[in-house]
Structure 1
């Protein structure tokens, strides 16, 4: 049920946060925007509402799958740690146990996540001008017709390795942020739940989930910037040779502040998105438990 609950929560959260994610990626990978509002205005002016949802279909599917794996791996890994350390899976885990389980969930997630992330970033940064803002000249055909077509083109032009561009940055980002994410959520739930109550209330879940997302994304933003820049680097460009080279070149050309592009957006987006993830996850688990107990 952890896998199923995670999948439902991940899918719903994507629908909530995708437009801001598109804005975040464009700010991180392109230098001509003066800020968040300028990017939103330009995207809407040239591409209308559809511009904010480039690649959303593949993202909903992939995030559902990835969230399922993430929550399922986390719970199963945590149960195994508790069995080994305390003799029973139901034992109360320590902060270190939660962090290790969270880090493991992040590492497993990267294997599934990278190709869809590459496709998402390419689709989000592709320009498809709306007909009402173009001249009388015919519209040029976009390189990628959709997320699946994007993956096919990348595999053909850049090989299998093209589907895993930015994997090193994604691995560093997700292992550390996932450990922080689950530790923060678990700690806040324990702290905010009144003594004597077995489970946190839904208001506590909402607050803890949103706060965990903000903290995790706030700390992960520098690696998120590098990941996006590496993934948008198409065949024939070869701007970056790897994670360290991407970091060095980005900082050399744009200063240290480049690593914090999209920080505000990441934090703004993270709160509602992760509120939805955790409250859906908990609701599905509790509904299933209640239904099972009644039978």
Structure 2
């Protein structure tokens, strides 16, 4: 499977070099519409696959992040949260409210790939970089930040509903019993209590997490891919001399599957670790009980309250389990997306 950056360059070349077992296949010129449709369709599928893998860990993360200031901590750590959640609701309870996140994952991942393409086109259109050559790594980090910033505005309402389902009001208030909430009633309650603007409660946290995190997500993926290609090339040259054609093919052929997984896992861990504090603050804001006034609950005020309550460690509550689940999830997202683009290109 090829990397996402390689897939985006197909429109700019008349043919694709196949492996030794296949022939050269001439491709029709790719239109911007087909490329965008691939981003939306294949990004949605990849996002859904990744969400099924990570959702139980995400539920634990949100419950750890949203523990109230005025009560003793209910969970001593991720394993304790897993145990209590399994005891209370069983394994399926960890998938509570997954319908909204599945929709959100489809929106998020397809939007990320779509807006990342728009960011690339903006760089090419500016004239700062020739269209017939690949972008530099700093430019790829920029297109990731560009993508995350725009995606955050689509994602905040979906995450708001998800967080309120994962941490029901009774649990957020410290009670043991947890009401089973559904997306549609939660949406209606948010609108009734806070109006349309209420769906973007926590937007600042999502914006920081997505713009910074997606810069790391795309940038780390491409950086790891480049390092692995350089390593493969050095190993090959150490074994035997290579012709210029062989070296060129080595730089464009898909990485071995395990290296693709490694690059994708690196991207996921970078995304989640670097901007985790912003996600913690966002989760605390978005798990405020429905009907409770959010006046004065700004990103800065919530950050100061958390600092007073728990210090620096409070901002990283649930970070370990989040980084752990992000490795396989992100690896699968990139592998599914790149695989679909390679084997099922839209003409």
How far off is 1:128 after superposition? 8.7
Would you say the 8 A contact 2:97–2:181 is kept in 1? no
2:334 to 265, 268, 278: 278
Partner of 1:87: 130
Distance (whole Å) between structure 1 residues aligned to residue 312 and residue 224 of structure 2: 32
Distance 1:254 1:183 in 2: 32
**Which of 74, 83, 86 is matched with 2:116 structurally?**
74
1:199 deviation in Å?
3.5
SS in 1 for 2:199: helix
- Is 1:111–2:153 an aligned residue pair? yes
RMSD of Structure 2 on Structure 1 (CA): 2.1
Structure 2 portions without partners, runs of 5+: 1-37, 68-72, 234-246
Q: How many residues end up aligned between the 2 structures?
A: 280
Gaps spanning 5+ residues in structure 1: where? none
The corresponding residue for 2:182 is 146
CA distance in 2, matches of 1:39, 1:237: 28
Task: Identify the match of residue 273 of structure 2 among 218, 224, 246.
Answer: 218
Classify the secondary structure of the residue corresponding to 2:297.
coil
Deviation at 1:127, TM superposition (A): 7.1
Distance of 1:33 and 1:239 partners within structure 2: 28
- Which residue number in structure 1 is paired with residue 76 of structure 2? 34
Counterpart of 2:96 in structure 1 is 54
Can you list the C-alpha shifts for 1:86-107, whole angstroms capped at 9, x where unaligned?
Answer: 231x421112211221111101
Verify: 1:2 aligned to 2:39, yes or no: yes
SS at match of 1:261: coil
Displacement, 1:256? Answer: 1.8
- The answer (yes or no) to whether the contact 1:170–1:223 under 8 Å persists in 2 is yes
SS of the aligned residue for 1:255 comes to: helix
Q: Tell me if structure 1 keeps the 8 A contact 2:64–2:81.
A: yes
- Of 312, 316, 335, which aligns to 1:256? 312
User: Normalized per residue, which structure has more helix?
Assistant: 1
SS of equivalent residue, structure 2 residue 156: helix
**Cα distance change of structure 1 residues 16 and 127 upon mapping to structure 2, 3 Å threshold:** farther
Q: If the length of structure 1 is used for normalisation, what is the TM-score? A: 0.89
CA positional deviation for 1:82: 3.1
Report if the CA contact (8 A) 1:82-1:91 is conserved: no
Deviation at 1:239, TM superposition (A): 8.1
